[in-house]
Structure 1
Amino acid sequence: MSREKLLEVKNLKQYFKSGRHSVVKAVDGLTFDIYKGETFGLVGESGCGKSTTGRTIIRLYDATDGEVWFNGENVHAKKSRKELKKFNRKMQMIFQDPYASLNPRMTVKDIIAEGIDIHGLAKNDKERTERVHELLETVGLNKEHANRYPHEFSGGQRQRIGIARALAVEPEFIIADEPISALDVSIQAQVVNLLKKLQNDRGLTYLFIAHDLSMVKYISDRIGVMYFGKMVELADSDELYKNPIHPYTKSLLSAIPLPDPDYERNRKRVPYDPSMHDTSEEPEFREIKSGHWVLCTTKEFEQYKAEMENK
């Protein structure tokens, strides 16, 4: 895998007003990079700001502060329609709810071809139809599905249609916002395997947002863990599972069930108590070992380092 940066997120903030005087810090100073060809997993419990992060990166929301650089260009500096159109072709999103994200009044053909039409990617109606049929087959459906409507499909099939729509403009980067959370467990693995195959075939880069850590480990090269708008830990997928450092990460991992009755009988949940942290200074994102970053104070940094050395 090349180590060429495709996306750089620098001190990204997304604040929303709540009532007259209070502010919700949905994303509060995130900094991370995503490299070409990798899958970067972003995990955390509901409400931690991970979906807001994805939506801010793709400019569904304007950032309160910070920068997002894609292919060396500042995403939030783009203002003209022409610039935004060019950017939207390179970055696409797969949404969480396959029921709500497809227009029920449009045929599958028109849903998938929407991006093709906007960007003028087909010379005529014959080429447009051919592209739609090809995309349907790419995601495991067939061309006979093109003239049907979304309500005629199952959840898994609808998500495949959503994936085909995202692929229609030949993007480099796809933000998958909890793409499997609304699907049956039996279908989830099929959709994740499809995403992995498409990545290999097309050289795609993913930001994969989810709260299911076991599935994120399966698909991701690196994982960032979010808690209340901040990233608390970032490491290679295997490293994060073998050597979790931040207490919140340990708590999340302790909640993953395994298909092993003996293990489950003795599994101990690790509760997370935010009040246990050192409050003598503002925590910073520090590299505890090569490629493994943790949000901590100086005192906690020394403590975590000693923990790792004693393992």
Structure 2
Amino acid sequence: MPEKLLEVKHLKKYFNQGKPDMVKAIDDVTFDIYQGETLGLVGESGCGKSTTGRTIIRLYEATGGQVLYRGQDIHKIKSKKALRELNKKMQMIFQDPYASLNPRMKVADIIAEGIDIHGIAKSNTERMARVYELLETVGLNREHANRFPHEFSGGQRQRIGIARALAVNPEFIIADEPISALDVSIQAQVVNLLKRLQKEHGLTYLFIAHDLSMVKYISDRIGVMYFGKLVELAPSDELYKNPIHPYTRSLLSSIPLPDPDAERNRKRIQYDPKSHQYTEEDQLKMREVRPGHFVYCSEKEFYQYRQNIE
């Protein structure tokens, strides 16, 4: 079995804490990511999936809980040197390829930013050789190095963002909705590129998205988030064939079908959160309903789900 690369334990991130308008963006989320796998994180806008990614990589400080990377608690690291070393191992690809690249910097300098910060290249020749190599790795060419971001399409900009993330040889990449701002025709190219890079470099991904069909294609396991809670976690095929939580079933029922007749007759499942009325005695938590298939539920629901499966 692959080793655990990342452990997220009871993670919480609250905004405006202690105020009347406090938002529990992440509320007691727990999951593991194993070396070499892709964990997909899905849910509708505002469910807390992007905040989860940003809190893991410490763009946001956690309100509570732990994020362990190879057993080390990320949010307890104090020294700048240790943080810089961690940032070398963990990188992020951002959602908006237009906003995430500095428009005043040439592509070579954007990609080499991490190389410069971590002192990876010993000379300018070595630095540029690495930039050219990265451009070719992501399907661009060395002539692109002297251009500015505005001279590229959205798909090309995202490739530059991926090259920048790869520049420091990371082990783990958080891809925060990396394809949502791109045309459908370009999305598959970027996802195929990520899959190829994972195979070639042994990368581990947290792939955050709301497009369920694309998440299934790239992910080994999928976690479903709803209003700051992780409500279901299962292997990709298992989640699609046997969704258990009503919210997951609702999400899957909304995926369009390529067959017009089937699409016309398809029944969408509406999720009503009011159908779940819990008390403190219900002790809601993630429970293993099938091997490797976890659902956030009460003990009573757990036995009901198990009964339905049998």
Q: Normalization by structure 2: what TM-score?
A: 0.98
Structure 1 residue 282 displacement after superposition: 3.6
Check conservation: 2:283, 2:299, Cα contact below 8 A.
no
Matches within 5 A, 1:84-95: 84-95=83-94
Matched to 1:26, the amino acid is A
1:257 aligned to 2:256? yes
Tell me which amino acid in the other structure corresponds to 1:114.
E
Aligned residue for 2:100? Answer: 101
The residue type paired with residue 14 of structure 2 is Y
Question: Which string of whole-angstrom CA distances, capped at 9 and with x for unpartnered residues, describes residues 203-257 of structure 1?
Answer: 0000000000000000000000000000000000000000000000000000001
Other-structure match for 1:197: 196
**Matches of 1:250 and 1:64 in 2, distance apart?**
30
> How far apart are residue 22 of structure 1 and its match?
2.7
Matches within 5 A, 1:146-157: 146-157=145-156
Q: Is 1:293 aligned to residue 299 of structure 2?
A: no
1:164 Cα shift? Answer: 0.1
Unaligned ranges ≥5, structure 1: none
Residue by residue over 1:90-121, the C-alpha shift from the partner in whole angstroms, topping out at 9 and shown as x without a partner, is 00000000000000000000000000000001
Query: Quick one: which amino acid aligns to residue 21 of structure 2?
Result: S
Corresponding residue number in structure 1 for 2:278:
279
Q: CA deviation at 1:19?
A: 9.2
User: Do the aligned residues in 1 keep the contact of 2:9 with 2:31 (CA within 8 Å)?
Assistant: yes
CA contact (8 A) 1:12 1:63 kept: yes
User: What secondary structure, in the 3-state scheme, does the structure 2 residue paired with 1:211 have?
Assistant: coil
- For 1:12-23, list aligned pairs within 5 A: 12-17=11-16, 20-23=19-22
1:184 is aligned to 183
Q: Distance in 1 between matches of 2:252 and 2:181?
A: 22
1:68 deviates by 0.3
Correspondence 1:1-311 to 2 at 5 A: 2-17=1-16, 20-280=19-279, 281-309=282-310
Pairwise CA RMSD of aligned residues?
1.0
Alpha-carbon distance, 1:20 to partner: 4.1
C-alpha separation in 2, matches of 1:149 and 1:306: 59
Tell me if structure 2 keeps the 8 A contact 1:175–1:207.
yes
Following TM superposition, the consecutive aligned residue runs of length 4 or more in structure 1 with deviations greater than 2 angstroms are 18-22
| Alpha-carbon contact 2:12-2:62 (below 8 Å) kept | yes
Change (3 A) 1:65 1:18: closer
Name the amino acid aligned to 2:304: Q
- Give the Cα separation in 2 of the matches to 1:129 and 1:52: 34
Distance in 2 separating the partners of 1:21 and 1:207: 32
**8 Å contact 1:113–1:168 — kept in the other structure?**
yes
2-side partners of 1:231 and 1:279: how far apart? 17
User: 1:20 & 1:208 partners in 2: Cα distance?
Assistant: 32
Q: Partner letter of residue 177 of structure 2? A: E
Q: Aligned residue pairs: how many?
A: 308
TM-score, length of structure 1 as denominator length: 0.98
* Aligned mates of 2:176, 2:278 — CA distance in 1: 33
Is the 8 Å Cα contact of residues 278 and 300 (structure 1) preserved in structure 2?
no
Percent of residue pairs bearing the same amino acid type: 75
Mapped partners of 1:258, 1:194: distance in 2: 25
Deviates more, 1:7-16 or 1:298-307: 298-307
Cα distance, 1:5 vs structure 2: 0.2
In structure 1, distance between residues paired with 2:183 and 2:257: 18
Partner Cα separation in structure 2 for residue 82 and residue 111 of structure 1: 22
Q: CA deviation at 1:21?
A: 2.4
Deviation at 1:299, TM superposition (A): 1.2
Q: 1:256, 1:264 → 2: CA distance?
A: 9
Q: Which moved more, 1:279-288 or 1:245-254?
A: 279-288
Runs of 5+ in structure 2 lacking a partner? none
What is the letter of the counterpart of residue 300 of structure 2? K
Letter in 2 for 1:79: K
- The answer to whether the 8 Å contact 1:285/1:293 transfers is yes
Deviation at 1:173, TM superposition (A): 0.1
- For the residue of structure 2 that corresponds to 1:22, the secondary structure is coil
Asked if structure 1 preserves the Cα contact closer than 8 Å seen for 2:235 and 2:292, the reply is yes
Mapped partners of 1:134, 1:253: distance in 2: 40
